[in-house]
Structure 1
Amino acid sequence: MPKQCEICGKMRQVGNNVSHSNIKTKRVFKPNLQKVRVQLDSGEVKCMNVCTTCIRSGKVAKPAARQIEE
């Protein structure tokens, strides 16, 4: 399974490290993924890997706090 946001599909991006002498080597930018409990439209609660951009923008609906059963 790739390191990918399950909401927006954000994946790793490739770029360059640039040294002081302007030598370029390949590097990878990874998305900031968090494992979050998400409440789906059907009411089901599921754990998903979601990027922090989706969490901050409100694309993810978090469920109410868990009930403690005694």
Structure 2
Amino acid sequence: MARVCDICNKTAIMGIKYSHSHKRTNRRWEANIKKIRVIVNGTPKRLNVCTSCIRSGKVQRAI
């Protein structure tokens, strides 16, 4: 599963991790993606949605 939000297209971002001795290594911060059932045009559909879109109410969950 690609870790991309189907609503806001949030993906992983790259950065640098610093150790205690300040050695630098590359790292990724992955988006918190959940596979949930949402209502799209009146029909339930399974989408990959980030938790910030779920909390903000950008999607309507299918129960």
Unaligned runs of 5+ in 1: 66-70
Which structure is higher in strand share?
A: 2
The structure with higher relative contact order (CA 8 Å, sep 6+) is: 2
Post-superposition shift, 1:22? 1.1
Larger Rg: 1
1:13-66 CA-to-partner distances (Å, cap 9, x unmatched) read 1011101111110001100100000001x2011000000000000001012x3x
Number of residue pairs aligned between Structure 1 and Structure 2? 63
Matched, 1:26 2:23: no
Distance 1:2 1:56 in 2: 21
RMSD: 1.1
Unaligned runs of 5+ in 2: none
Aligned-residue sequence identity (percent) comes to 44
Could you list the runs of 4 or more consecutive aligned residues of structure 1 that deviate by over 2 angstroms after TM superposition? none
